[in-house]
Chain A
Amino acid sequence: MKQTKTYLSKTVEELKPSGIRRFFDLAAGMEGVISLGVGEPDFVTSWSVREAAILSLEQGYTSYTANAGLLELREEIAAYMENSFGLQYSASNEMIVTVGASQALDIALRAVIDPGDEVIVIEPSFVSYIPLVNLAGGKGVTVQTKKENDFKVTPAELEEVITHRTKAIILCSPNNPTGTMLNEQDLKSIASVAKKHDLVIIADEIYAELSYDEKFVSFAAIEEMRERTILISGFSKGFAMTGWRLGFVCAPKELTEAMLKIHQYAMMCAPTMAQFAAIEALRHGNEDVNEMRKSYRRRRNYFVQSLNEIGLECHTPGGAFYAFPSIERTGLTSEQFAERLLVEEKVAVVPGNVFGQSGEGHIRCSYASSMEQLQESIKRMKRFLEREF
């Protein structure tokens, strides 16, 4: 029999669909579900920001912008990075406004990876890292962090997987899915490894605004690290602007110019109205961000303490809006747990194994939900645990 020819590239054929997809399909069809599976803020974008975008449309700003983004926005970003994180990046040649942090990640990886280069991904990790490394022609090499270390990577764990092909490490702090935030000390220990092996650090700092106990420190602020850091951030999480698809990447000139080449051919520029919205967010959004941060912190405190009370052991996450409790005592795999919790109690969480092998035995719960929903979900999870285990 004649074999049907596939038109697909090998790379794409070998990409695994995200485990989140299956869960989405399962939960989307059900009524009365409380979802703790959402990876985005529960706030609607501030009205002043939305209004600024409306105004830009009314005024007819509907054309392309410069490839790197509106200069006005880049200048605001430069000021923001300096004031908030003590970082100096030139608006003219060290940053690019991108379509979400996701696109920033994509151009960063494509700018540094040669075929066969290895990129270290620290798991549990955001689901896009390895597929994006693969699409850029690289090979993702995972490091499994441990619950006992609050899912922080150790230099020894990094050293173990570094080879002569290792090109970069992707760091995500505060972390999705674990909520772990790396402090200055942690960053310094990673920095020494990066320096020793001359590695690029791709620092995904999209959750930088959402740190609750200690002040957030950017990897680029660590001594001698700026030159080897590609810093990725954006407006989605801190400013509650996920749907606007607006992020940015900051890096030394040479790296930025390389990324800009990819960006100008593959994307041209980020959406113009979203860029106008972002200018307003940076100029006047600070108070809203503070309010949202406070609100997340309260909900984190409530939720994490309640999880521990009902017997789901959980470290206190320093940032983002995820709790990553252990479900090991139930004897179920994280997929079994999540599926039964969804079917029996209509609470949607994301099984930890979709974030990598070391996520097994855990579930990711987003506490970016109203207090009423969080209270109800705790009640349901408690009932589930008492009935079954």
Chain B
Amino acid sequence: MQLTEKELEIVEILEQDARTKIVDIAKMVNISVNEAEALIKKLEESNVIVQYSSIVDWSKISGHEGVTAMIDVKVTPKRGVGFDEIAERIYRFKEVKALYLMSGAYDLSVIVEGKSMNEVANFVSQKLSTLDSVLSTTTHFILKKYKHDGTIFEQGEKDKRIVVSP
């Protein structure tokens, strides 16, 4: 799908801050509010903008810290459907936050979130590795999130400029 320059700008603005008000977006890209509204609607309907969500640092919320694991999965692709069928079987689990088909030493990268290591371990041993096409799994637990989807979790950078300068 080919986007116009204005549409592309809107996507970039919303990707940076999904809460930017439509009146402000309209000003930023120099179009009317109605036009901005229509363009955003079009982007939503065509699934270019899939969803608006927040990046939450769960590690800050007591009792909800949770654990995230990245699991390398080797599978046997099936004739006719390749990896798509097994991928679908995996991503339908609500524990699976992301799933990618990879090049290299393994096939699927599965990102799983759970309340505890135990919960993730149970998911891997009972759900994931028991699937017919799954040959092997390697589970890596994430110890600390520094940056996620382009957002740095600990924003330490303050404006260091002097207040008035020529």
Contacts and interface: CB of A to CB of B under 8 A. Distances in A.
Q: Which of B13, B157, B163 has the most CB of A within 10 A?
A: B163
B34 interface: no
A221 interface: no
A350 B27 contact: no
Interface string B123-166: 00000000000000000000000000000000001010111111
A44 B1 CA distance: 34
Contacts of A294: 9, 12
A184 to B, nearest CB: 23
Contact of B164 (A20, A42, A299): A20
A27 B17 CA distance: 30
A138 to B, nearest CB: 20
- Interface magnitude class on chain A: 20 to 34
A8 interface: no
Given A44-B157, A298-B28, A128 B166 contact: yes
Interface residues of B, number: 18
B29 interface: yes
Q: Which of A38, A294, A306 has the most CB of B within 10 A?
A: A38
A299 B28 contact: yes
B24 interface: yes
A28 B163 contact: yes
A252 interface: no
B27 A38 contact: no
B122 interface: no
Interface in A9-54: 18, 20, 23-24, 27-28, 33, 35, 37-40, 42, 44
Given A298-B13, A299-B28, A305-B27, A18 B163 contact: no
Contacts of A35: 161, 163-164
B157 A350 contact: no
Contacts of A18: 166
A20 B28 contact: no
Contacts of B30: 301, 305
Given A42-B159, A44-B157, A371-B20, A27 B27 contact: no
A80 interface: no
A38 B9 contact: no
B6 to A, nearest CB: 11
Q: Which of B17, B28, B166 has the most CB of A within 10 A?
A: B166
A37 B163 contact: yes
Given A301-B29, A306-B27, A38 B13 contact: no
A24 B163 contact: yes
A348 B163 contact: yes
Q: Which of B163, B164, B165 has the most CB of A within 10 A?
A: B164
B166 A126 contact: yes
Contact of B166 (A27, A33, A127): A127
B32 to A, nearest CB: 11
A299 B24 CA distance: 10
A375 interface: yes
A306 B30 CA distance: 12
A374 to B, nearest CB: 9
Contacts of A298: 9, 13, 28-29
Interface in A264-307: 294, 298-299, 301-302, 305-306
Nearest to B159: A42
B165 A33 contact: no
A27 B163 CA distance: 7
Given A298-B9, A298-B13, A371-B20, A38 B164 contact: yes
Nearest to A349: B164
A371 B28 CA distance: 10
A299 B27 CA distance: 9
10 contacts: A40-B165, A128-B166, A298-B13, A298-B28, A301-B27, A302-B28, A305-B27, A306-B27, A371-B17, A371-B24
Closest 4 CB pairs of A and B: A37-B164, A298-B28, A24-B164, A35-B163
Interface of A: 18, 20, 23-24, 27-28, 33, 35, 37-40, 42, 44, 126-128, 176, 294, 298-299, 301-302, 305-306, 348, 350, 371, 375
Given A35-B164, A294-B9, A305-B30, 12 more contacts: A18-B166, A23-B164, A24-B162, A24-B165, A33-B163, A35-B161, A37-B163, A37-B164, A38-B162, A176-B166, A298-B9, A371-B17
